[in-house]
C-alpha cells in the first residue's frame, strides 16, 4: 500500500504543473498526500476490519477533509451526510482504481480479488468503466505479488479487460491532455509499470506522462510495490508526510498481508 501512497505524495505537486520528463525532484517542495492516499487507506481498513467500503470512504473523508476530492465524490459525501443515503453516480473516473491497491493484497484467490474490487468500486463508480479500471489495477497488484512476469501480467490484463497496453509511454506523453477517466489513465499507469526498471523508475514514468499525476503515480506505484518492493528510505521519507492514524493502518495492513 505504501507504494501507491508514495506515488500520490510525489505526484501531488505535478498535477497542475506537468513535468513531461523523468528528471524532477522526487520530494518536491509542497508535496503532500491527497484523496488517493486517504481512500486507499480506507480500503485497507475495510479489508482489515470488515464492513462496507462505502462506510469507510465516508468516514475517512470526514476525518480527512480538504484532500482534493472530486466534485462528484463530494456530492456523494454530502448526500450521505445530509440525506443519509449512499447514491452511486455512474462515474467512469479513475477514483475507483486509485483506491483499490489493497484489494490485490487482501485476498488469496483471483475470483475474490475481482469480486472485492467490484464491491469497492460500485458504491460510487457503478459505471462499467469504473469497475473495469478498479479490477484491472487490483489484478495487476495481485499477479505482481504472486511473482508473475511482466509479460504474463500484460497478456492477462489485455485478455481479461481488453485494454490496449501496446502504446508506449512516449505516445502517452505526446498525446496526453489532462484526463482522469479510467479508460485512459488505467492502461497508462499499467504501461508506466511495464516499462519500468525499479520502483522509483515506475513512479517517475507515471509522472512523466503528465495529466492526473498523483493518481497515475498512485496506481502505477501500487503495482510496482507488489513487483519490486519499496526501498525503506522512500517509505521512511513518506511517513514524514503522513498523520499517525494513517501510518497505523498502513503498518497493521502490511503486517497482516505483506509479502
Site for Mg ion contains 212 (CB under 5 A): no
What are the two backbone dihedrals, phi and then psi, of residue 136, each rounded to the nearest 5 degrees?
A: -65, -45
Select from 99, 102, 103, 105 the least CA-distant residue to 117: 103
The residue among 98 and 230 lying less far from Mg ion, judged by its C-beta, is 98
Contacts of 119 (CB under 8 A, 6+ apart): 53
Using only C-alpha atoms, what is the Rg of the chain? 16
Cβ neighbours of 76 (radius 10 Å): 24
Residue 156 CB, shortest distance to Mg ion, in Å, is 27
Encoded one letter per residue, x for contact with Mg ion by CB under 5 A and - for no contact, window 213-252 reads -x--------------------------------------
Part of the chain binding Mg ion (CB under 5 A), chosen from 33-41, 50-58, 104-112, 161-169: 33-41
Part of the chain binding Mg ion (CB under 5 A), chosen from 64-72, 156-164, 185-193, 239-247: 64-72
The residue among 35 and 225 lying less far from Mg ion, judged by its C-beta, is 35
Residue 158 CB, shortest distance to Mg ion, in Å, is 27
Contacts of 156 (CB under 8 A, 6+ apart): 139, 143, 148
User: Where do contacts with Mg ion occur on this chain (CB under 5 A)?
Assistant: 34-36, 68, 214
Amino acid at each position: 500500500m505504501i507504494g501507491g501512497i508514495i506515488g500520490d505524495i510525489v505526484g501531488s505537486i505535478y498535477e497542475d504543473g506537468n513535468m513531461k520528463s523523468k528528471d524532477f525532484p522526487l520530494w518536491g517542495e509542497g508535496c503532500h498526500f491527497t484523496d488517493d492516499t486517504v481512500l486507499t487507506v480506507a480500503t485497507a481498513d475495510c479489508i482489515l476490519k470488515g464492513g462496507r467500503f462505502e462506510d469507510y470512504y465516508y468516514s475517512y473523508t470526514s476525518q480527512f477533509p480538504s484532500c482534493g476530492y472530486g466534485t462528484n465524490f463530494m456530492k456523494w459525501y454530502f448526500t450521505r451526510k445530509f440525506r443519509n443515503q449512499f447514491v452511486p453516480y455512474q462515474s467512469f473516473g479513475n477514483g475507483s482504481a486509485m483506491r483499490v491497491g489493497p484489494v490485490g493484497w487482501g485476498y488469496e484467490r483471483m475470483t475474490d480479488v475481482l469480486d472485492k474490487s467490484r464491491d469497492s468500486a460500485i458504491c460510487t463508480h457503478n459505471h462499467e468503466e469504473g469497475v473495469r479500471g478498479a479490477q484491472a489495477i487490483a489484478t495487476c497488484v495481485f499477479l505482481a505479488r504472486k511473482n508473475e512476469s511482466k509479460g504474463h501480467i500484460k497478456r492477462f490484463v489485455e485478455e481479461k479487460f481488453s485494454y490496449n497496453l501496446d502504446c508506449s509511454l512516449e505516445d502517452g506523453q505526446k498525446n496526453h491532455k489532462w484526463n482522469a477517466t479510467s479508460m485512459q489513465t488505467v492502461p497508462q499507469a499499467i504501461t508506466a509499470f511495464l516499462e519500468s526498471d525499479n520502483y522509483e523508475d515506475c513512479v517517475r514514468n507515471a509522472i512523466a506522462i503528465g495529466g492526473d499525476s498523483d493518481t497515475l503515480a498512485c496506481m502505477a506505484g501500487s503495482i510496482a510495490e507488489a513487483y519490486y518492493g519499496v526501498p525503506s528510505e522512500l517509505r521512511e521519507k513518506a511517513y514524514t508526510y503522513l498523520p499517525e492514524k494513517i501510518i497505523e493502518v498502513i503498518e497493521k495492513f502490511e503486517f497482516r498481508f505483506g509479502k
